[in-house]
A and B are shown apart, each in its own frame.
Chain A
Amino acid sequence: MRPLTLSRLLVHCAILGAILFAVVVVALKLGAVPVSLYGLVRDLIRVALGQASQLSSEHQLIVFNIRLPRIFLSIFVGASLSVAGASFQALLRNPLADPYVLGISSGASVGAILALIIEPHLALAPAVAALFTPVGAFLGAALTVTAVYFLGRREGQIDSSTLLLAGIISASFLSAIIQFFMATLSGGNYHGMAYWMMGELSTPQQPIVSWILRVGFFIAAGAIYTTAADLNLLLAGEKEAMHLGVDIRRVRIVVYIAASLLTGLAVSVSGAIGYVGLLVPHVMRILFGSDHRILLPTAAFGGAIALVIADTLARTVVSPSELPVGAVTAVAGAPLFLYLLRRRLA
């Protein structure tokens, strides 16, 4: 018997944090303009010491104004998608659940696009306008997950394969709507609509949007973490969890709203990036077990690490051109999805 302790949780998180830091340093170094490791470390130390003014202007621009914000974006998008995936897997009792597979990301994209279309007509203050897209994406995600949940039920019970089919069909239907918007609105200023179809992180975001993403991530992931012990019991089924004192209705509402929020936030800045929410929680379960009190934080770190790596690959492998990061995650994730599906059917 080796129950989970706070110190074990912190040690694992510290290790993953160190790995994330190393990955970030490498990601800062790699790119179309070469930056020496020595120069990078020197600059990082200068920034840490508050001597940012001594940086060479070229490094300042490339490393700190272009690469670093993009890496921060990858960290929070990856962590959000991964935590949302782990939560949906427990709540829908389906190991293949993930915001992308279930069409929730596509729903969030439609919501975000609608928000972008409506927003210029409302003459909002800039701060409110910045919130408009994430809120639209959240509503799109929440509506889609509700629809998929009810479509995926059979005789009052969630049926795994029905749920997956409902999700995949919803995703394809919603993609058609996105295609429609892309075709009819191409003249407008909807910065590269292809973005919504296959996620990418190259669009620079306003600082306020980045802040909304970070604060929103901590609030939503924190809310899900308060239900971590309840999610463990839900793995054995709702009936059993109820007899062990889990308030199922409360857990369901908290996790649905928070996981939809995470999906909406991620999609509103990066479009629909697939498979991070599916793949990362499974890897973390193999490494650290399926106790959500350790799974959720490690999945957040793992998602961040995975997406920083994927985005670095996306911007370097076909340099000076770029791949959408969603293509990179799909190349890695789709075979794993098929492997998990086959193993389940076997």
Chain B
Amino acid sequence: MSSSARIPASGALRAVAESFPNTDVRLSVEQVSYAYSANPTQAPLFTLEATSFQARPGEIVAIVGPNACGKSTLLKLIAGALAPLSGRVLLNGFVTHALPPRERGQRIAMVQQESPLLFPSRAWEFVLQGRHPYSRKLRFESHDDVLIARNALAQVGAEHLSDRWMDQISGGEKQRVILARALTQQPLLLLLDVGAQVDLLETLRKLAAANRYTVVVVTHELNLAGQYADQVALFQKGKCLRVGPPSAVFQRELLEQVFQTPLTVELTSSGRPRVIVPSAK
């Protein structure tokens, strides 16, 4: 599947070129912060403090931390679904929040816990919907769209689900179909906010390498992040404590303080850190 053939951004969107001395960087999160408040006159209920990191094509970034630490909020900010309070998120030099919905859909794909469908549809119909950001009004799916959808289903190993109804497949199968729909968007950036499992991350690792996606995944499975991610961003209560390769972030004192539990960190034979929580055994 080619991700190089893409429609150029409209002229109204100026690339912020000067901020890209390193052209290899695809995603650049720059001092992004956010605050939720029920009422503008009151103190915010939750704040995300300024966060920065960068990611290249083919890289997987894992956002880890305890519940309600701001992981999902950061993902929405990266996706451009929320406007940051300060700072900006750049994807190939474009501010993600400022992209028109269609352009955003061609560049950023989000995989999240799906709300139930209102009316049943088949898996292939669902996957074809990923072509929506490329379709013109009143036009039906082309032969190319069908090929792209088939290819996407094959890449996530879900070809056999093609003719099944979406409400009659298991949760894990559904997640693959949702991922396939994200692939048909032919995105530059793939964002995941789902319960991460081993096979999903293995698939992502392969896809990121093959299609040069930049992947950002939210998870609380430290060991999956340690094993598969190129970078880990560790969050606690809306504050990004550290960003870097897993071995640099997975320090015993730091993790013990964040997760409030005694643990040990050891290195596997592949040089990846592994976190062991003794009490869990």
Cβ-defined partner of A1 (8 Å) among B103, B119, B130, B146: B146
B262 beta carbon closer than 8 Å to chain A: no
Q: Give the distance in Å from the alpha carbon of A248 to the alpha carbon of B100 in the complex.
A: 12
Our count of residue pairs bridging A and B at CB distance below 8 angstroms stands at 97
* Identity of the chain A residue whose Cβ is nearest the Cβ of B105 in the assembled complex: A245
Contact with B along A1-33 (1 / 0, CB 8 A): 111111001000000000000000000000000
Q: Give the distance in Å from the alpha carbon of A222 to the alpha carbon of B191 in the complex.
A: 35
Q: Give the distance in Å from the alpha carbon of A239 to the alpha carbon of B75 in the complex.
A: 13
Q: Find out whether the CB atom of B124 lies under 8 angstroms from the CB atom of A245.
A: no
Contact with A along B86-117 (1 / 0, CB 8 A): 00000000000000111111101110101101
Cβ-defined partner of B132 (8 Å) among A5, A93, A95, A246: A246
- Neighbouring A residues of B146 by C-beta, 8 Å: 1, 3
Q: Find out whether the CB atom of A1 lies under 8 angstroms from the CB atom of B114.
A: no
Q: Find out whether the CB atom of A3 lies under 8 angstroms from the CB atom of B140.
A: yes
Q: Find out whether the CB atom of B130 lies under 8 angstroms from the CB atom of A235.
A: no
Count chain A CB atoms within 10 A of each CB in B105, B120, B140 and give the residue with the most: B140
Cβ-defined partner of B145 (8 Å) among A3, A225, A247: A3
* Identity of the chain A residue whose Cβ is nearest the Cβ of B145 in the assembled complex: A3
Q: Find out whether the CB atom of B104 lies under 8 angstroms from the CB atom of A6.
A: no
Q: Give the distance in Å from the alpha carbon of A95 to the alpha carbon of B137 in the complex.
A: 25
Q: Check A229/B121 contact, CB under 8 A, given A236-B115, A243-B105, A244-B105.
A: no
Cβ-defined partner of B118 (8 Å) among A235, A242, A245, A291: A235
Count chain A CB atoms within 10 A of each CB in B125, B126, B133, B162 and give the residue with the most: B125
B222 beta carbon closer than 8 Å to chain A: no
B138 beta carbon closer than 8 Å to chain A: yes
Q: Find out whether the CB atom of A291 lies under 8 angstroms from the CB atom of B125.
A: yes
Q: Find out whether the CB atom of B135 lies under 8 angstroms from the CB atom of A235.
A: no
Q: Find out whether the CB atom of B102 lies under 8 angstroms from the CB atom of A1.
A: no
Q: Check A1/B150 contact, CB under 8 A, given A245-B105, A290-B119, A291-B125.
A: yes
- Neighbouring A residues of B102 by C-beta, 8 Å: 245, 247
Q: Check A242/B112 contact, CB under 8 A, given A1-B124, A90-B118.
A: no
Cβ-defined partner of B130 (8 Å) among A93, A244, A290: A244
Q: Find out whether the CB atom of A5 lies under 8 angstroms from the CB atom of B140.
A: yes
B175 beta carbon closer than 8 Å to chain A: no
Q: Find out whether the CB atom of A244 lies under 8 angstroms from the CB atom of B185.
A: yes
Q: Find out whether the CB atom of A242 lies under 8 angstroms from the CB atom of B81.
A: yes
Contact with B along A219-247 (1 / 0, CB 8 A): 00000011011101101110110111111
Given contacts A90-B118, A229-B135, 5 further A-B contacts (CB under 8 A): A1-B163, A94-B118, A95-B118, A244-B133, A293-B140
By a beta-carbon cutoff of 8 Å, the part of chain B in contact with chain A is 79, 81, 100-106, 108-110, 112, 114-115, 117-121, 124-126, 128-130, 132-133, 135, 137-138, 140-141, 145-146, 149-150, 162-163, 185
7 contacts between A and B (CB under 8 A): A1-B146, A3-B128, A236-B115, A236-B117, A239-B115, A244-B185, A291-B121
